[in-house]
Structure 1
Amino acid sequence: MWRVADDQAQIISALEGMTGPRTAETVGRAVASLIHDGTLRPGSRLPTVRQVAHVCGVSTGTIVAAWSTLRRDGFVETRRRGGTMVLGAGPSIRNESGAHGSVDWSARDLLSGSPDYAMQPDLSAALLAGLSSSHELNRPGREYITEPLLSAVQAHWPFQAQAWTAAGGGSEGLILATEAAASAGGVVAIEEPAMPGFLDTLSELNIQPVGLCRDSEGPLIRSLQEALELEPVALVLQPEGSYAMEGSLSTARAADLARVLMNSPTRPWIIEDDGVGPLAVRQAASLGPFLPDHTVRVRSYCKAYGIDIRTCVIGGSEQLVAAIIDKRTHGVAMNSRILQNTLAHLINSDEAKFAVAAARDKYRTRRERLINALARQGLRAQAGDNSLVLWVEVSDENSALISLARKGIVVGSGSKSFIGKHSRALLRVAIPQLPDEDELAEELATRIAEASCSRNREYLA
């Protein structure tokens, strides 16, 4: 009989001898290989997540993701008191036609853009640092932004902010800023394509959205001029282009937009939504240097560091930041000092910077792999340099969505990211959890190509 210690030693030895990058995918494959060749038999117990993370020199989140993949593919199961045990060589994964090599696409988030959790840094050290640097925990008073966090973000801000505050995740910060700028309702001009949930929220706030068209350098001047005729109370821009089909805001375009605004009889608030944060290839230009009294930037960190950080940073106009603070439960709410200082530690951490850089490269490679695979299928797909989604042109959006859903592939509706009727039928595909394997990218592209030509006909029974 095999002893548990022997099983674990086999795994530790194999992982110690791994060459190349140690990711959730490569660690999972290494363990699956030991199961396939009989080195690990049914009933063998895997080492703890912490043991394997230590041996591989990666975060516990990476190993959790590897074990999750093994569970999904039927290699192991986790028992409440018995740890994670080997079941066997795993069932053959088949696609609808019965061929080997497919994947359970429903297990991948291709809709909302959730990050690849295995690519995020380990939060353990950061949380301990956040706890130890919060010297006056639970004391009365409100620090809308702590000194460590302010020090960490100031040097990287694209303009000299007059005031600062921290809030929940990036979506909360964006909604707070928009609601503060348009407290009495009115018109808000929004750069398209936009986050669908944000557009849905505006209708609940009695805010009328107007679309701003863009090209590879940012919002079009003519589109801004047309929007200004409606006297908007605010502009919501995406300088980094987290939802863009191409490019990011250029310095020249920022200057041109600012010139139009400075010559306008109305001066709307400018809210810059930086939804990608540290994952951006490069920081885009800003209207803040031109219009500091009217601009705030909302920077999100959740996609880079993890949703449980729950802290975004808002910096810019003193008047608008004060209104944002007041809008958040009448100024009573304040983000935890521990979370703020945890974020400060992550921003300054070399280990976290390395993890974010690896994720940035990985996401870019996944995006390009699928775009190229779609091109081989005769489909046009686009995504900006910093975008976390890509856009695929199809013949009929609804039919394509239904056809893909029947195969377990859930992607986004392009039309929901536009305020008016868009001229092209589009699918929105989230990038972070796209496959690394060429064959799986080709399979996904084939599925999308088949769906793009489908026609969904409904009849009464």
Structure 2
Amino acid sequence: MKAAGAATATDDDVLRSALAAHHAHSADQIESVVADLIREGALAAGTRLPTIRDLAHGSDLSTRAIVSAWSSLRGDGLIETNRRGGTVVVDTANSARPGWADRDLLTGSPDYALQPDLADAMLAGVRSDHLNRPRRDYITDRLREAVVHTWPFAAESFVAAGGGSEGLLLAVEAAASPGELVAVEEPVIPGFLDTLEDVGYRVVGIRADEDGVCARSLAEVLALQPAVIVLQPEGAYSADGTLSASRTDEIAEVLAAADTRPWIVEDDAVGPLADEQAPSLGARFPDQTVRVRSYCKAYGMDIKTCVIGGSAHLIDRAIRLRVHGIAANSRILQNALAHLVTDAAADAVVDTARTRYAGRRNALRSALADRGVTAHAGPNSLVVWVEVRDETGALLELARRGINVGSGARSYVAGGGGLLRIAVPQLPDAPAAVAELADAVAGAAGVVHREFLD
């Protein structure tokens, strides 16, 4: 008997032969063939499947099609992927199909099956003549060269930091001292408002619509003289859209006319997963703007590196804020990220993830609309915002069903109740599962929570 998890040439041959025999090329065809092999027992529980790269090598299968097929199989509970054990066939006879509790609809963790294998990137990261040298590379030459051509404006300076949330807070701290006023485009990335308040900032919200932050709302906020404004041009958590070119012109005029011009921090939390890059105010105000680009949603949390580019003054202050200039990101992680940014195979995986996330977002919105429920999401949004009668009642009702989603009020400075936040990346692909979720959300949308004291 073969040991569980053991990889054998026979398993690989069975898989490749079946795919060839069925002339499987598309993601749906690959998924169908592999699912049949698993259900028939030709690929036994515990069988380790070849890596996406290995399966694509020597065949005419595209990396993108394999990634998409693996994601569907994972969603159907037929395979599972972990960082150390690779992708293995699940024992469907003795394990239940993943339930809602197994899907992160709250924090927005990515679908791990739709992220590139980091092995090659890490190997590329250690190929350097400068490892373990005492000097600090706040950004390696390799990473700077990889990102500079993708930056939406001519940045005066760059620095690498930890994950996107760390980089965003670091940029804000470089621009404003505790106690000063920070203006944020709403809705805000989950947890960011709590962090700003913990640090001691005063916070005010800026309204946005399908073209990005509203010029009139921005003008009203600028009258309060905030030290910094935090915008999200790509709309990673937008309820409506991304920053348009025409709106960029409008808000640039508002900023130019302001008595006191604040620092500008652009939060690019979606990174390479964006459908297209939005304009940047850095093109108009390069010495007052920084953009924080996160890569974790696209490439994985363990890459743990974001890039901040823009105003040299703010970049220098951000460097000093990280343990008085002592801290610098690992050269290995920086160069691994540089490899991913420029690697065609990684691009193919990210392209697939972008398409699948958009499909999941649109499928849920459509299913909710069919049930008379209003939901909003921008074209790059990692969340769907759902209108409900009573936010607390809806959250409790869904939790009772084992479905954990986010509070909309926590993403608005003044509350903004009556919204649920449902993360997109781990939404199911199967229409029946989407319908099940939409039914549950529609049922919760009209619930009103009342407390009684006997």
Provide the TM-score with structure 2 as the length reference: 0.88
Q: Deviations over 1:268-311 (max 9, x none)?
A: 11000000111111110111111111100000111111111111
1:129 counterpart = 2:124? yes
| Cα gap change, 1:200 to 1:7, in 2 (>3 Å) | same
Residues in 1 aligned to 2:18 and 2:360: alpha-carbon distance in whole angstroms: 28
1:266 counterpart = 2:269? no
Greater CA deviation, 222-231 or 233-242?
A: 222-231
Residues in 2 aligned to 1:185 and 1:30: alpha-carbon distance in whole angstroms: 60
> Is the CA contact 1:366–1:435 (under 8 Å) kept in the aligned structure 2?
yes
Q: Deviations over 1:76-134 (max 9, x none)?
A: 999x99x97875645676xxxxxxxxx611111111111111111111111111211x2
Partner of 1:440: 433
- Give SS of 1:137's match: coil
Residues in 2 aligned to 1:90 and 1:34: alpha-carbon distance in whole angstroms: 18
Match of 1:33 among 28, 36, 46: 36
| Cα gap change, 1:13 to 1:207, in 2 (>3 Å) | same
> Is the CA contact 2:49–2:89 (under 8 Å) kept in the aligned structure 1?
no
**Letter aligned with residue 441 of structure 2:** I
Q: Deviations over 1:222-267 (max 9, x none)?
A: 1111111211100000010111111111122122212222221212
> Is the CA contact 1:76–1:88 (under 8 Å) kept in the aligned structure 2?
no
**Letter aligned with residue 369 of structure 1:** A
Q: CA deviation at 1:343?
A: 0.8
Match of 2:418 among 399, 407, 425: 425
Matches within 5 A, 1:95-106: 104-106=99-101
| Cα gap change, 1:207 to 1:88, in 2 (>3 Å) | closer
Residues in 1 aligned to 2:80 and 2:123: alpha-carbon distance in whole angstroms: 32
1:397 counterpart = 2:391? yes
Q: CA deviation at 1:433?
A: 0.9
Q: CA deviation at 1:66?
A: 8.2
| Cα gap change, 1:36 to 1:250, in 2 (>3 Å) | closer
| Cα gap change, 1:299 to 1:390, in 2 (>3 Å) | same
Matches within 5 A, 1:47-126: 47-50=47-50, 54-55=54-55, 87=91, 89-90=93-94, 104-126=99-121
| Cα gap change, 1:285 to 1:47, in 2 (>3 Å) | same
> Is the CA contact 1:363–1:431 (under 8 Å) kept in the aligned structure 2?
yes
Q: CA deviation at 1:26?
A: 6.0
Partner of 1:252: 246
Partner of 1:454: 447
Unaligned regions of 5+ residues in structure 1, if any?
Answer: 94-102
> Is the CA contact 2:131–2:331 (under 8 Å) kept in the aligned structure 1?
yes
| Cα gap change, 1:115 to 1:51, in 2 (>3 Å) | closer
- Give SS of 2:347's match: helix
| Cα gap change, 1:387 to 1:88, in 2 (>3 Å) | closer
**Letter aligned with residue 439 of structure 1:** A
Residues in 2 aligned to 1:249 and 1:77: alpha-carbon distance in whole angstroms: 36
Paired-residue identity, %: 49
Partner of 2:60: none
Q: CA deviation at 1:441?
A: 1.0
| Cα gap change, 1:329 to 1:276, in 2 (>3 Å) | same
Q: Deviations over 1:137-195 (max 9, x none)?
A: 10111111111111111111111111110000110000001111112431000000001
Residues in 1 aligned to 2:224 and 2:131: alpha-carbon distance in whole angstroms: 48
Partner of 2:186: 192
Residues in 1 aligned to 2:123 and 2:183: alpha-carbon distance in whole angstroms: 42
**Letter aligned with residue 54 of structure 2:** H
- Give SS of 2:448's match: coil
Residues in 2 aligned to 1:212 and 1:371: alpha-carbon distance in whole angstroms: 25
Residues in 2 aligned to 1:376 and 1:51: alpha-carbon distance in whole angstroms: 39
| Cα gap change, 1:118 to 1:21, in 2 (>3 Å) | farther
Residues in 2 aligned to 1:302 and 1:85: alpha-carbon distance in whole angstroms: 26
- Give SS of 2:104's match: coil
Matches within 5 A, 1:101-250: 104-132=99-127, 134-250=128-244
Residues in 1 aligned to 2:341 and 2:89: alpha-carbon distance in whole angstroms: 37
| Cα gap change, 1:92 to 1:419, in 2 (>3 Å) | closer
- Give SS of 2:359's match: helix
| Cα gap change, 1:219 to 1:47, in 2 (>3 Å) | same
Residues in 2 aligned to 1:225 and 1:85: alpha-carbon distance in whole angstroms: 56
1:408 counterpart = 2:391? no
Q: CA deviation at 1:14?
A: 3.6
Residues in 2 aligned to 1:201 and 1:451: alpha-carbon distance in whole angstroms: 29
Matches within 5 A, 1:312-461: 312-422=306-416, 425-460=418-453
| Cα gap change, 1:254 to 1:50, in 2 (>3 Å) | same
> Is the CA contact 2:48–2:89 (under 8 Å) kept in the aligned structure 1?
no
Partner of 1:100: none
- Give the aligned CA root-mean-square deviation in angstroms: 3.1
How many pairs are equivalent? 441
Match of 1:275 among 269, 275, 279: 269
Q: Deviations over 1:188-232 (max 9, x none)?
A: 000000013111100111101100001111111111111112111
- Give SS of 2:143's match: helix
> Is the CA contact 2:219–2:254 (under 8 Å) kept in the aligned structure 1?
yes
Q: CA deviation at 1:459?
A: 3.5
- Give SS of 1:265's match: coil
Q: CA deviation at 1:405?
A: 0.7
**Letter aligned with residue 359 of structure 2:** T
Q: CA deviation at 1:7?
A: 7.5
| Cα gap change, 1:146 to 1:92, in 2 (>3 Å) | closer
> Is the CA contact 1:22–1:56 (under 8 Å) kept in the aligned structure 2?
no
